[in-house]
Amino acid sequence: MPNENAPRRIGKYEILFQIPTLEGASPEELDQTVIIPHFKREASHGPLPASGPSPERTAPRLFIKSAMEEYLLDKERTVIGRSRDSDIRLPGLFAPRVTVEVVRRGAEYVLQKVEGRKRITVNGEEMDEKTLEREDLIAIGSEEFVYKD
């Protein structure tokens, strides 16, 4: 029988599961806040799960490939950038100093570069403005997004 406290290997990672014993614990010790490291709600409505049906999804969304998260485009203007004021923040210390907006124009959503020197590509072509279509691949620096409607 394998040692229950031995690390388990998943791909290149070793994971050690530790289950504390709760014998003699008071109810107050069991009812505590759980802190999840590195959990963020960066967009105004926070990321949506990347999978699973959601009946209330009516607005298109941007799927962030590196974070495996989706953000609803349910506002007239959604700002993507490095600043704290952005609806969708570009992660990382070396995130480009660029601001991009997704603006709703009637039934269409238009991606437009507002400022910054970094290039923005949609489906591999550099652009400053483009009406988004289903499954467009948007690259802002090293971050990739997929437009889903």
Instruction: For residue 44, give both structure tokens.
Output: 């105004």
pLDDT of the residue at 31: 56
User: With contact defined as beta carbons under 8 Å apart, do 24 and 15 qualify?
Assistant: no
Residue 126's pLDDT band (boundaries 50, 70, 90)?
A: very high
- At 55-75, the pLDDT tens digits run 454 789 999 888 888 889 999
User: With contact defined as beta carbons under 8 Å apart, do 16 and 5 qualify?
Assistant: yes
- Alpha-carbon distance of 64 to 69, in angstroms, equals 5
pLDDT at position 51 over 80 = no
- Alpha-carbon distance of 76 to 58, in angstroms, equals 14
pLDDT of the residue at 41: 45
Write down the pTM of the prediction: 0.59
Mean pLDDT of 35-57: 49
User: With contact defined as beta carbons under 8 Å apart, do 85 and 98 qualify?
Assistant: no
pLDDT at position 145 over 90 = yes
Comparing 58 with 148, which gets the higher pLDDT?
148
- At 16-36, the pLDDT tens digits run 666 666 666 666 665 555 555
pLDDT > 90 fraction of the chain, expressed in percent and rounded: 31
* Domains of the chain: residue spans and CATH: 61-148 (2.60.200.20)
